[in-house]
Amino acid sequence: MRISKIYAAYKPVISFEIFPPRTEDRADIVSRLAADFRKLGPAFISVTYGAGGTTRDTTVEIASLLSGFGFTVMSHLTGVGHTVKEVDEVLARLHAAGVENILALRGDPPRETANVYTAGDFAYAVDLIRHLRSKGVFGIAAAAYPEGHIESPRIDLDWRHLKEKVDAGAEFLVTQLFFDNRVFYHFLESIRRMGIFCPVTAGILPVLNAGLLKRIVSLCGASVPAKVLGLLDRYADDPVSLEKAGIEYATAQVADLIANDVDGVHLYTLNRPEWVTQLLNNIGYKRREYLPASQAGLAR
């Protein structure tokens, strides 16, 4: 199903991100994940794509597996370093497996290339979006940065590039993680004023451990509010309590987003269904069957 049809019918749309496991038993791991996720009923599941195509085959494999299980799937796809031919091969395999949605990204050069990455036909995500649009068979999403993309010299400049992605064919946006909802609300108001009116789903990742938080924040540049730093201090020697507090913090974030009428929440599951289950239970989320707008009546 095209995900844009879900946003046209429901609010909030709850969706999950997973990554392809690196081990040989990845199909078994994802089958178990799928069984847990089925009980929670996400609108769709997205599958990450390793920088520069490093998980090309496993992303296609896992996205295809989930599609075969009956989930609505969105495959991430990064353009940087890829030729049109390579991208088309990936798209053909996804299409054959019934995957109808792509999160079109520029991506980052793999670390071993020392940040020099000039080969390929897609300099920016917008180039991949235009290519996907010309094919006409995929629903298209793009990434958005409530605090501005880490490389961008000015936030408003980044958001102008965001508008280019929407004008080129991105039907909805998935945000980078953030820990302060005020940042998201400010971003949303700003881009609406700039004429970006498509659905925007809020990317949420709880603080599950200090090391992971540092790694992710150093990559994406998201700011960490005093309240979260306080949790890291308080539970520096108690990882179990830190994780519990992190899930509570994320629960409060999601509850507040829903109270403020957000289009959707995309949970970065890290392939760990237990915290996702806990968070959705905490907010009293009721499993629902997401149908396309044409069949859903007045669900929204």
So which residues are the catalytic ones? 17
Q: Does 105 bind ligand FAD (CB under 6 A)?
A: yes
The identity of residue 220, as a single letter, is C
Q: Is 53 near ligand FAD (CB under 6 A)?
A: no
The one-character DSSP state at 80 is T
Rounded-to-integer distance, Cα 140 and Cα 93, Å: 17
Cβ closest to ligand FAD, residue 127 vs residue 231: 127
Interface mask (CB under 6 A) for ligand FAD, residues 118-157, using x and -? Answer: ------xxx----------------x-----x-xx-----
Nearer to ligand FAD, 222 or 283 (CB): 222
Q: Which is nearer to ligand FAD, 154 or 193 (CB)?
A: 154
Position among 130, 161, 186, 244 found at the interface with ligand FAD (CB under 6 A): 161
Exactly one of 56, 76, 82, 93 binds ligand FAD (CB under 6 A); which one?
A: 76
Question: Binder to ligand FAD among 78, 181, 251, 253 (CB under 6 A)?
Answer: 78
Nearest approach in angstroms of CB 107 to ligand FAD is 4
CA distance 53 to 75: 12
Query: Residue 177 Cβ, how far from ligand FAD at the closest point, in Å?
Result: 8
246 touches ligand FAD by CB under 6 A: no
Instruction: State how far the Cα of 17 lies from the Cα of 12, in Å rounded to an integer.
Output: 16
Rounded Cα–Cα distance for residues 44 and 291 (Å): 11
| Cα Rg of the chain (Å, integer) | 18
245/250 with CB nearer ligand FAD: 250
Find the binder of ligand FAD among 53, 81, 107, 199 (CB under 6 A). 107
Residue 278's CB is within 10 A of a number of other CB atoms, namely: 16
Q: What is the number of other CB atoms lying within 10 angstroms of the CB of residue 221?
A: 15
Partners of 105 in the β-ladder: 78
CA angle (122 as vertex; 93, 50 as ends), nearest 5: 55
Cα–Cα distance for residue pair 115/73, rounded to 1 Å: 30
Cβ closer to ligand FAD: 5 or 106? Answer: 106
What is the chain's length? Answer: 300
Interface mask (CB under 6 A) for ligand FAD, residues 21-50, using x and -?
---------------------------xx-
**Token pair recorded at residue 181:** 């909802």
Q: Which amino acid is at 198?
A: C
Go through 108-119 and write b for each residue having 16 or more CB atoms within 10 A of its CB, e for each that does not: bbbeeeeeebee
Among 174, 257, 262, 276, binds ligand FAD (CB under 6 A): 174
Which positions lie near ligand FAD, rule CB under 6 A? 48-49, 51, 76, 78, 105-108, 124-126, 143, 149, 151-152, 158, 161, 165, 174, 176, 203
